[in-house]
């Protein structure tokens, strides 16, 4: 058995929360889709399995019943509890929609030891009728919402682990350490060591290619691979013309001059502008940029010999989209993704352990589409220059005011103004923070930055760019439901 827990994903938000909590405690974990085959799971040979479900009334029907009889300890959380109950000959008595905090009482078990009651955010409750092989371990009022198997090392709780949740953390640690026998060996440094060994073993004496986008994910992957391969790693950076002001120089300064990566810079600004000509729809822009990037890289690598491709894909992307095709040609090549087990929120810590500068690790994320989707309407050189100027003025003011570390993102958007005599534009500044609610939603909130800062940015922008006729600050609050 490998000293690792396996999380089967039935709800990406809670899967990420559980994985991060385990790793913070030093428990190693891997993530697979919920429909992974029992043979895939047994090949990993984990010490335990967590079924990470959601909190809604509907429950997953894709759980393979054979999984429950592999002899591997299992903890079902959230609505996967109802699924497991049915697979073990139980029944669902009723479903109650709550979306409020309620008391849950615990019965004695190795999983719930030292817990008597806990306040839990209960969204929807599937009350259970247990078969003879199951024994209750958690109740809401007098209704059963959690159970253990009389013979198998199997537990289920009909609620999820929350963000600030000592009782939930206690349950996770009881399962990981006391039931599964995991040890606390995982850390960012340990992950780096494993990936270095994997790269060394996989590439051997061969060579590898890595496309650097300017983002942290591809940069960290390249730096990690470079520490193993040295000059046998060749990096390619494409200047799309859609990057922020000074972005190309920033990337080369850090990765080429400081990290000593071998980087080939390709100026493809004209190719991307030509490809985007006349396109207004955001989805069409996104697909056009992806297709153009693949074509540019394919042409650049024609006739180049390499054995492996280093990808900067993270677990967030794998869970959301699967292992989509890389932007670099991979046919007949070995693909190595050093960060595919990590979430974007964890990549920064790996970067710090690699010794990368704070200037890079603290830089705000930037979409692969660059400025194209922050520019409404057709992408033209003139409009890009205006948006680039607006974005820099606003970003510089945020950094100079020492507000950047308090914000999730800050940027500018450009809107053509219809019905004006000349080509005039509106610029919208946007700075946001994020928060989770106990009701199960994520909030994107407008940051309360000083009015004087916004006014100063607006005055400077309109003075330097006469085409900007209006400037506003976006106060939209967005609520994203997780179920």
pLDDT of residue 449: 95
Q: How many CB atoms lie within 10 A of CB 188?
A: 18
User: 360 near 351, Cβ under 8 Å?
Assistant: yes
Sign of CA dihedral 187, 263, 360, 365: negative
Distance (Å, whole) CA 10 – CA 16: 11
Structure tokens at 2: 């490998």
Query: What is the CATH T-level fold of the domain 2-179, as seen in this structure?
Result: Rossmann fold (3.40.50)
Is the pLDDT reported for residue 401 higher than 70? Answer: yes
3-class SS of residue 424: coil
Model confidence over 164-195: pLDDT tens digits?
A: 899 999 999 999 999 999 999 999 999 999 99
At 12 the pLDDT is: 86
**Average of pLDDT values for 189-216?**
95
User: For 102-120, what is the mean pLDDT?
Assistant: 95
- CA 89-95-99 angle, to 5 degrees, is 135
Q: pLDDT confidence of 366, banded at 50, 70, 90?
A: confident
The secondary structure of the chain in percent helix, strand, coil, rounded to multiples of 5, reads 35, 25, 35
Chain centroid to CA 207: how far? 29
Rounded-to-10 torsion of CA 136, 140, 143, 148: -20
Average pLDDT on 268-272 reads 97
Place of tokens 């106990």: 438
Identify whether the C-beta of residue 179 lies closer than 8 Å to the C-beta of residue 73: yes
| Domain limits, the chain | 2-179, 188-361, 380-481
Contact 72, 40 (CB under 8 A): no
- 2-179 and 380-481 agree in CATH topology: no
Closest CA to 165 of 108, 208, 104, 222: 104
Measured CA to CA, the distance from residue 220 to residue 429 in angstroms comes to: 29
Residue 200: pLDDT over 70:
yes
- CATH class of the domain whose range is 380-481: alpha beta
Please tell me the least confidently modeled range out of 252-261, 311-320, 382-391.
Answer: 311-320
Tell me what the mean pLDDT of segment 239-251 comes to: 95
pLDDT of residue 198: 96
Beta bridge partners of 157: 77, 146
Residue-level pLDDT at 386 = 97
In this structure, the chain runs to a length of 483
What does the alpha-carbon distance between residue 22 and residue 346 come to, in Å, rounded to a whole number?
A: 12
- Provide the pLDDT for residue 422: 66
Q: Give the Cα separation of 473 and 328 in Å (integer).
A: 39
Segment 367-379, tens digit of pLDDT: 889 999 999 999 9
Q: What is the CATH number of domain 188-361?
A: 3.40.50.620
């Amino acid at each position: 058995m490998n000293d690792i827990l396996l999380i089967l994903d039935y709800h990406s938000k809670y899967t990420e929360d559980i994985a991060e909590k385990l790793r913070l405690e030093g428990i190693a974990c891997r993530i697979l889709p919920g429909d992974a085959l029992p043979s895939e799971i047994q090949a990993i040979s984990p010490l335990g399995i967590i079924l990470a479900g959601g909190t809604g009334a509907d429950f997953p029907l894709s759980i393979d019943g054979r999984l429950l009889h592999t002899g591997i300890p299992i903890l079902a959380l959230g609505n996967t509890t109802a699924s497991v109950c049915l697979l073990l000959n139980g029944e669902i008595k009723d479903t109650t929609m709550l979306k409020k905090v309620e008391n849950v009482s615990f019965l004695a078990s190795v999983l719930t030891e030292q817990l008597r009651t806990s306040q839990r955010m209960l969204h929807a409750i599937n009350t259970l009728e247990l078969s003879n092989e199951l024994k209750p371990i958690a109740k809401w009022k007098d209704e059963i919402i959690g159970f253990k198997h009389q013979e198998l090392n199997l537990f289920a709780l009909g609620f999820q682990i929350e963000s600030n949740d000592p009782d939930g953390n206690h349950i996770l640690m009881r399962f990981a350490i006391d039931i599964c026998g995991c040890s606390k060996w995982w850390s960012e440094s340990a992950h780096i060591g494993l990936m270095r060994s994997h790269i060394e073993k996989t590439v051997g004496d061969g060579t590898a290619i890595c496309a650097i986008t300017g983002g942290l994910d591809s940069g960290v992957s390249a730096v990690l691979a470079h520490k193993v391969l040295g000059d046998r790693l060749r990096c390619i950076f494409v200047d799309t013309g859609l990057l922020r002001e000074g972005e190309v120089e920033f990337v080369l300064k850090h990765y080429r001059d400081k990290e000593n990566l071998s980087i080939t810079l390709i100026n493809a600004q004209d190719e991307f502008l030509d490809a985007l000509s006349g396109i207004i729809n955001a989805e069409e822009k996104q697909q056009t940029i992806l297709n153009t990037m693949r074509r540019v890289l394919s042409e650049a690598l024609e006739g180049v010999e390499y054995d492996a491709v280093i990808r900067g894909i993270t677990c967030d992307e794998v869970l959301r989209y699967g292992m989509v095709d890389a932007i670099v040609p991979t046919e007949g090549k070995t693909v190595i993704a050093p960060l595919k087990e990590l979430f974007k929120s964890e990549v920064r810590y790996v970067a710090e352990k690699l010794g990368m500068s704070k200037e890079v690790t603290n830089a705000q994320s930037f979409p692969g589409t660059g400025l194209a989707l922050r520019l409404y309407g057709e992408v033209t050189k003139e409009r890009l220059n205006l948006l680039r100027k607006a974005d820099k003025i606003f970003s510089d003011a945020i950094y100079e005011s020492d507000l950047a570390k308090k914000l999730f993102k800050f940027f500018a958007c450009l809107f053509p103004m219809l019905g004006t005599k000349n080509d005039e534009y509106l610029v919208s500044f946007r700075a946001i923070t994020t928060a989770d609610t106990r009701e199960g939603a994520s909030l994107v909130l407008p940051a309360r930055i000083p009015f004087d800062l916004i006014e100063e940015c607006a005055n400077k922008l309109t003075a330097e760019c006469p085409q900007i006729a209006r400037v506003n600050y976006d106060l939209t609050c967005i609520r994203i439901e997780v179920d």
